Amino acid sequence: MAKLSPSRQKAILRKYSVNVKYLMMIASICLIVFTLPKQAKFRYEYDRGRIWTQKDLVSPYNFAILKTQQEIESDQQAALRSITPIYQLDSDIGEQQLDGYKNDFEIKWHSAGINDRQKRSYFIAGENLLKEIYNKGVLSLNSKYQQSQPNYPITILNENVATDKSTADLFTKEKALAWCEQTLSRRKDIDKTFLLGLVQDRLLNNLKYDDKLTSRLEKEVLDGLSQTRGMVQKGEVIVAKGSVINDVVYQKLESFKKAFEDNARVNGDRNLVLLGQFLLVSIVITLLMVFLYLFRRDIYEDNRLVSLILLVVTAMLACLSLAIKLQLPNLYYIPYCIVPIIIRILFDTRLALNIHILVILVAGFFVPNSFEFAYFEITAGMVSIYSIKNLIRREQFLISALIITFSYFVAFLGISFIREGSFVNIDWMDFVPFVVSVLLTLLAYPLIYAFERVFAITSDITLIELTNTNAPLLRELAFTAPGTFQHSLQVANLAENAIYTIGGNALLVRAGALYHDIGKLENPLYFIENQSAGFNPHDKLSYEESAQIIIRHVSKGIEMARKANLPEIIIDFIRTHHGNTRVDYFYQSFLKNFPEKFINENIFRYPGPIPYSKETGVLMLADSVEAASRSLREPDEKSISDLVDRIVKYKLNQDQLKDSNITLKDIETIKVIFKRMLMSIYHVRIDY
């Protein structure tokens, strides 16, 4: 079987990659459509206080007007008030307590020290008291029914015979004992203390609250309540063009919307609803891919990154669908801003804003008051993106959360003023979901960490950690090769200022600059910045050997970086910071000392590749300029300016920057920044 050529292999891989991309797009569209609620979308947007600007809305069929929530609650309260609590009469308790009274009386009479001729009158007095009490009934009052007054009506069931009474006509234990004391106080021939003790021991409730039966009656009456009031007839004008949507009209519109959705659910074609959702979601995902193709081709061609973006978009819309199905009290609880924050940290601002707008466009079809929803979330998303444009500290997440909350609050006030026309009538509890949403947005931090690990992406957060000079590799560099460490710091400052001015990732450049020379840890003394006066180990080596030691710091740096699990995007700076230039000092020295010998130039040349981004290109220039500036014996304005011009011109002549996307204008800007900073480093007085 013939072996495929490299070009053929690349073509097959490219085709396979495109097919995978299409499959991911289709899978994402299907997952989103599958999770979305399958209901027809009501075409009209409305709210209280607004003017109806569309044509007269005429009812196409009869429908009932739904009661407002306040009306339903009022009806429920009235219905519950009509239900009297049920108490079951236990007649056996009275008989049992009378029998017990007889026994107690006989036992305690002998020790009472009262004349035996009075025994019968005492017994009868106590017996009559208990009979009277149990004939009326003894119960415990229920605080649930004592909202407005201490006594309330009840229904007493005695063998399925109901009797309506008021608790005012019945006894509680305390009330019964007080009545006994009052009754016995009128008897001068009886020691009330003796009888009160006996009666008190025999007081039990013979009327017991039947919670189960009462609750069942309450449920039945609530279930029987009507949820509607009145009808709108077919052909009747629901709202006329130019009229204000007051409470009455608003409720009619709400009722019409409910009737429309119910009718569509019963009579509508579910397959057409599904097709409509598929078309809408397909447009959004296609627009996203077109954006990537036109403006972020590097992401578009990396299926790993495309899958991450589609995963974030799909997960966000799936969460919205789940919230709708679970009937979440307020859909603003969902942290919509988490999407732009994640995309901004992992990719860039333009992509984050584009994705956020597309997600909100889809979500707007399935939330009430879609215009208000879009205004709230698009503005909040933009604020979240802008607030972390340059992420250099972890606390920026908290600062961003506060700024997002403030933007939500301002938008909430503005919309409330338009809707209510009053500050007093604003329901501040409606703002709570926005606060919860912002707090949930902080989950972006652990999610970013997870995405970095799973998809091998380097975020600004990771770059912040890498630029900490206490990181293991940098700490080792500072102790083992202090000259190289100081050189790296100066290169980082030069490159960071340059890339910040011409546009690029300053944090990435700084991290790359700090690690670009870590390969020098293998043989630090072979590099001039680490050598002490009077000793140079290259004096004992041939020019070829010296060149190879110098060149090897690139491959060794890549090896050390991978062993330390540094991201590939940082390793790119190590790989490209010398491009494929020559180690000119040893090359020229060889030519000068051995003019007759033939030499393979590649021995003195770095393996490359040349820089292929603005960031790596700027680092190459900063590295070369900073290293060369150390050779200046008496640095002044002219010598520094000539040095920078010469180094930059050499790199251009060697075609080292042709793939780095740096313009000639950028080059001039970079040179100005390098000159100014080097003059500051060497304390050169500038003539004005």
d(CA 413, CA 380): 14
523, 613, 501, 527: which is closest to 568 by C-alpha? 613
- The answer to whether residues 34 and 210 touch, using CB atoms and an 8 Å cutoff, is no
pTM: predicted TM-score of the whole model, two decimal places: 0.64
pLDDT, position 58? 84
The residue with greater pLDDT, 104 or 683, is 104
The residue with greater pLDDT, 355 or 248, is 355
Going from the N-terminus, what domains does the chain have, and what CATH number goes with each?
A: 17-40+269-455 (no CATH), 77-222 (no CATH), 461-681 (1.10.3210)
Instruction: Tell me the range of 244-248, 298-302, 386-390, 392-396 where mean pLDDT is highest.
Output: 298-302
Question: What is the share, in percent, of the chain residues with pLDDT greater than 90?
Answer: 35
Question: What is the share, in percent, of the chain residues with pLDDT greater than 70?
Answer: 93
pLDDT, position 4? 44
pLDDT, position 496? 94
pLDDT, position 515? 95
pLDDT, position 16? 61
- The answer to whether residues 467 and 510 touch, using CB atoms and an 8 Å cutoff, is yes
Distances (CA, A) of 501 to 415, 469, 651, 675: 40, 24, 20, 14
User: Would the pLDDT of 497 be above 60?
Assistant: yes
User: Would the pLDDT of 28 be above 90?
Assistant: yes
User: Would the pLDDT of 235 be above 80?
Assistant: yes
Task: Over range 548-554, report the average pLDDT.
Answer: 91
How does pLDDT run across 45-59, given as a tens digit for each residue?
Answer: 777 777 887 788 888
d(CA 639, CA 666): 22
Lookup result for tokens 């308790």: 93
Lookup result for tokens 């009053």: 422
- The answer to whether residues 577 and 516 touch, using CB atoms and an 8 Å cutoff, is yes
d(CA 419, CA 399): 30
d(CA 196, CA 125): 11
| Phi, psi angles (nearest 5°) of residue 171 | -100, 145
pLDDT, position 41? 64
Amino acid of residue 297? R
Number of other residues whose CB lies within 10 A of the CB of residue 457: 19
d(CA 49, CA 253): 13
Query: Residue 588 has which token pair?
Result: 């020229």
The residue with greater pLDDT, 4 or 153, is 153
- The answer to whether residues 628 and 490 touch, using CB atoms and an 8 Å cutoff, is no
- Strands lying side by side in the sheet with 207-209: 161-166, 153-158, 86-89, 207-209
pLDDT, position 326? 83
251, 239, 260: which is closest to 52 by C-alpha? 239
Task: Over range 67-88, report the average pLDDT.
Answer: 87
pLDDT, position 532? 74
d(CA 163, CA 203): 23
| Phi, psi angles (nearest 5°) of residue 607 | -75, -15
Task: Over range 82-96, report the average pLDDT.
Answer: 89
pLDDT, position 10? 47
How does pLDDT run across 103-128, given as a tens digit for each residue?
Answer: 888 888 877 677 777 888 888 888 89
User: Would the pLDDT of 680 be above 50?
Assistant: yes
- The answer to whether residues 209 and 142 touch, using CB atoms and an 8 Å cutoff, is yes
Task: Over range 438-449, report the average pLDDT.
Answer: 88
> What are the b/e assignments for 273-311, b being 16+ CB within 10 Å?
beeebbebbbebbeebbebbeeebeebbebbebbbbbbb
How does pLDDT run across 342-383, given as a tens digit for each residue?
Answer: 999 888 889 999 999 999 999 888 887 788 889 999 999 999
User: Would the pLDDT of 12 be above 60?
Assistant: no
How does pLDDT run across 456-495, given as a tens digit for each residue?
Answer: 888 888 888 889 888 889 999 999 999 999 999 999 999 9
d(CA 623, CA 625): 6
pLDDT, position 465? 85
Measured between its terminal Cα atoms, the distance across the chain in Å is 75
Distances (CA, A) of 545 to 112, 537, 683: 124, 11, 37
d(CA 687, CA 684): 9
DSSP result, 529-595: GGPPTT--GGGGS-HHHHHHHHHHHHHHHHHHHHHTT--HHHHHHHHHTTTT-B-HHHHHHHHHH-T
Mean pLDDT across the chain: 86
